[in-house]
Structure 1
């Protein structure tokens, strides 16, 4: 295989960003939705009381979403083009123009329909939700009616949509911009440089402790400079959210996030309780890490740095890992599980839907994207030609396989709840991680370091993110009660929550300003999904390890896409996510991995 084998061929979607098909399709989208909007606006009063008309409108709505769409495919192509050519302003301009058209179409001809359905009387709602003639639409209608009593008028909803950008989104964008532009002079591996926070991250795990320490205190200085702005930023986001909820009559700040994820708050509370009761696992991990390094405490700048950067004993002497080997291991992993998984993977490679090598103008990181049942998934990554590529590629393949298997549902359900979005990706990543070490010495220092790094990532996804969710609950409560929450109060809350994750293994006061640079706190109550995704994946892995035939249950979960609530989906495969015992199975898997590391260290040390 050559590098050119791992470049996207986007011509299979459109020939260029100016392909006339794009504008023709947008015109068709507007025409069809305008006709739909005009028809049902004229019948809006009858729509709320006439079951037959409601059924007719839902059939037509579903057909339009399936056959015409709402511009997602066109934006999908342009976004992919932008991802490999970030310096091209013409692509960004094209995206903005098409997006403006799509937003206008949605607000004028689609949004009213959802609002009108929300006005169906409660008694008729109950009748419809028990009517088998509406079974294809029960999930859609239940989701609409769960929040509809808090809807405002069409004009008010449109106004809130517009002002949300200036009253909330722009604050978050400002904070993000400041964090990516303010800089400090720090020591790097190449000498002293002025770096922003994002640029410093490259050196945070340097093998040189002087560099790590300089980066840590450089970041602290930037945080101090951004502190007041971050205080105003978060308070503005909280205040706007609170004002909107007050106008709607919503008391619970978590309501809209959890409603959009179609998950009950009781389930999230159970997840949080299960994690809280097991914080000692996280603390135990960091104690083992300190023990391995011959210390009782971990310095703040070493806390989350991988062992191979902290101690030469853990460096892998065979660090080169050609990308062809990554492809072979991931392919072998998928084939060992199911031929269908392997075929989806091979098709993506042969159809040039994997862009793997870094190049100028290409976006960093990795993602898997698609937009509808008509499109295929495209994977972007930036290979480092290290063993980490195996986990990255397998992770994104998990998303792709979930996307492909989910194409059995109606287009209106073709997506994933935030609660389950990362389940498949982590599932395949973990299987590939095991296969990546199949040919290596099992109890070497390098193996120990890699497995410790994997556990550290899992602890961050579960224990750290739940501490972040609890932090959010407290700042929302205080801000609502007092009208404003100070930076000092946020420091104190963050310090209290991080205590559960790290115990007394490090100087936590130096990390109390973590909220200043935690981007997901600007998307309220989002972070629980990292914990739910990882723990659900661990449960699915455990049942497959018990019996490979249980893989059919995993496939069934993926095929359901977003057609049911997460609770209903897992009930279909015999799992109850409302029970604490369910989440404890996933947590026990992390504990088991940690115990294996404790035993391995006793052997190799």
Structure 2
């Protein structure tokens, strides 16, 4: 099968956009859920009797498995929109189903909220009940969230306040920035007007004139909107403070940990471990400055590649490479990966109207996992296949062993599978390259690891201090925010990156700080995968333990899953094993650069 034939078979869901089954499924969804709501709003026995709760949860899970919130129609039109973003008919149909799902979800939430409010003294009998064992961790998570729930009416008010008190603020800054344009120089030397996001991308140009011009413009744009962003940040910091005060949450990052199903002590251990090894990232930037023949890197030059691999990786060749790598690791992994191709669950070609980038989505246990690519024959496209197939294999392993209520990887470990397999592909590719090409490849990989681990941990620490100081002072000026930002960014980068005037304002466009305390998950996912890789390299049979881990979903907490593997993720030693892998790669790159006479 040629590359051009790799398109999604959405016929596995519906025959067409006008398939009568879509309406039938929506009607069935509403009918069955209304019956459930009517029954369990009236019958409150499930809040007192474990047997009644078991019956209620079985019905709840059955409806989520079969119908969800019109999941199958939603999935179909969401995928269609990914292929045809400008089609107004698809947008309209998707919007209609989203409204349907939102209303239905609001009607159903009484059930889990009621369970969450079961008194603490009564929770123990539910958690000890043998019939409820399959729902044990779901109940644990629900009970924990219940500690911070307000009344139903108060929760509805808070839901309504999200848009004016938070979303509109962040959307405002984002839209202001997206409208900015500047005259840039292209790689071919021509002048043309480019939008903000393209200017950001130009900071990675190997042409110093182009990247310096992009850096100059970004300094200007960030400074231009610093006053507006300051008011935005103060407003959403106040919004977060009000939420935490109402829910009696003391630490600003605790609500994130609860939603991600990870203990605060685990995140604290991660942050401390990475912070204590900032010497690794500082060494990396020192090496990069030497390779670029610069005394210091400018702030905007952090991600500049040292060179570019000219080798083309056609899709059929890339497919064989990925499948061969999976087969070397494990036969089951190979067959799961091959099925994505055989069942036409991969859409490969870039085309007009199709969304950019790549993703893997496994909506639920009863629906197929789909993978979207935009393959352009570059080496990064090969690692992207491995990355997205890692997510896909994770989904399929969970489907084999989990019911709907426990399906899905928690945010804290969501990137483990993808980065785990990505690194094995890079090692496979490097076997075919010259030393010069391997240096470029390894440096690019190292750059990604440094950004995903050290930079994100530095940002997390910036967030922690940002919220702390706001709660102490009541307002932070743009100068105070900028000083905090610089303090934490240069802590991980070191003295080989210059403190350029304007770099203190680069928090203005960084969207992650608006998605409170999310960024630790990049570091946790990658470091967990590094540690697991190390185990597999020492003992190839450990891949079975990796598969078991990837099969667990949300049946148990990440902490408990690792405990059964003999791993304590609250221990700094665990995170240091992953960091040792990063340092080993840095040592390898330094040695290779010396061998080639680059430093």
For the aligned pair, the TM-score class normalised by the smaller chain equals: over 0.9
Residue of structure 2 equivalent to 1:252: 251
Q: Distance in 1 between matches of 2:431 and 2:252?
A: 47
1:40 matches 2:33: no
Q: Distance in 1 between matches of 2:225 and 2:544?
A: 50
Describe the shift of the 1:207–1:602 C-alpha distance in structure 2 as closer, same or farther (beyond 3 A): closer
With 511-520 and 195-204 compared, the bigger mean Cα shift is at 195-204
Q: Distance in 2 between matches of 1:170 and 1:94?
A: 25
Q: Distance in 2 between matches of 1:156 and 1:24?
A: 35
**Equivalent residue runs for 1:176-575 within 5 Å:** 176-189=174-187, 190-308=189-307, 315-316=308-309, 318-407=310-399, 408-441=401-434, 444-509=435-500, 510-575=502-567
Q: Distance in 1 between matches of 2:590 and 2:186?
A: 34
C-alpha displacement of 1:135: 0.7
C-alpha displacement of 1:248: 2.0
C-alpha displacement of 1:115: 1.3
1:62 matches 2:61: yes
Residue of structure 2 equivalent to 1:10: 10
Q: Is the 8 A contact 2:285 2:497 kept in 1?
A: no
Q: Secondary structure at the match of 1:307?
A: coil
Q: Is the 8 A contact 2:3 2:315 kept in 1?
A: no
C-alpha displacement of 1:71: 2.3
Q: Is the 8 A contact 1:187 1:215 kept in 2?
A: no
2:152 to 146, 151, 154: 154
Q: Distance in 2 between matches of 1:231 and 1:18?
A: 48
Paired residues, number: 594
C-alpha displacement of 1:550: 0.3
Aligned-residue CA RMSD in angstroms?
1.5
Provide, for residues 21-73 of structure 1, a one-character-per-residue CA deviation record: whole Å limited to 9, x for no partner: 222212211111111111111123x4332333222212221222222222233
C-alpha displacement of 1:299: 2.9
**Equivalent residue runs for 1:53-92 within 5 Å:** 53-92=52-91
Q: Is the 8 A contact 2:206 2:306 kept in 1?
A: no
C-alpha displacement of 1:361: 0.8
With 201-210 and 401-410 compared, the bigger mean Cα shift is at 201-210
Q: Is the 8 A contact 1:185 1:218 kept in 2?
A: no
1:130 to 114, 128, 131: 128
State TM-score, norm by structure 1. 0.95
Q: Is the 8 A contact 1:73 1:372 kept in 2?
A: no
Q: Distance in 2 between matches of 1:426 and 1:385?
A: 20
Residue of structure 1 equivalent to 2:166: 168
With 85-94 and 270-279 compared, the bigger mean Cα shift is at 85-94
C-alpha displacement of 1:486: 1.9
Describe the shift of the 1:301–1:523 C-alpha distance in structure 2 as closer, same or farther (beyond 3 A): closer
C-alpha displacement of 1:166: 2.5
Q: Is the 8 A contact 2:337 2:389 kept in 1?
A: yes
With 273-282 and 562-571 compared, the bigger mean Cα shift is at 562-571
Ranges in structure 2 where 5+ consecutive residues have no aligned partner: none
Residue of structure 2 equivalent to 1:312: none
1:142 to 123, 140, 143: 140
Q: Distance in 2 between matches of 1:14 and 1:238?
A: 44
Q: Distance in 2 between matches of 1:473 and 1:306?
A: 31
Residue of structure 2 equivalent to 1:582: 574
With 181-190 and 480-489 compared, the bigger mean Cα shift is at 181-190
Q: Secondary structure at the match of 2:124?
A: helix
Q: Is the 8 A contact 2:227 2:478 kept in 1?
A: yes
Runs of 4 or more above 6 Å deviation:
none
With 535-544 and 63-72 compared, the bigger mean Cα shift is at 63-72
Ranges in structure 1 where 5+ consecutive residues have no aligned partner: 309-314
With 204-213 and 520-529 compared, the bigger mean Cα shift is at 204-213
With 394-403 and 177-186 compared, the bigger mean Cα shift is at 177-186
Q: Distance in 2 between matches of 1:404 and 1:232?
A: 45
C-alpha displacement of 1:336: 0.8
With 465-474 and 152-161 compared, the bigger mean Cα shift is at 152-161
Residue of structure 2 equivalent to 1:28: 28
C-alpha displacement of 1:398: 0.1
C-alpha displacement of 1:286: 0.9
Provide, for residues 468-488 of structure 1, a one-character-per-residue CA deviation record: whole Å limited to 9, x for no partner: 111111111122222222221
Provide, for residues 308-336 of structure 1, a one-character-per-residue CA deviation record: whole Å limited to 9, x for no partner: 1xxxxxx44x4222122111110110111
Provide, for residues 214-251 of structure 1, a one-character-per-residue CA deviation record: whole Å limited to 9, x for no partner: 11111111111221222222222222222122222222
Q: Secondary structure at the match of 1:93?
A: helix
Provide, for residues 254-303 of structure 1, a one-character-per-residue CA deviation record: whole Å limited to 9, x for no partner: 12110011111111000000001000000001111122233331233432
Q: Is the 8 A contact 1:47 1:116 kept in 2?
A: no
Q: Secondary structure at the match of 2:543?
A: helix
Q: Is the 8 A contact 1:230 1:516 kept in 2?
A: yes
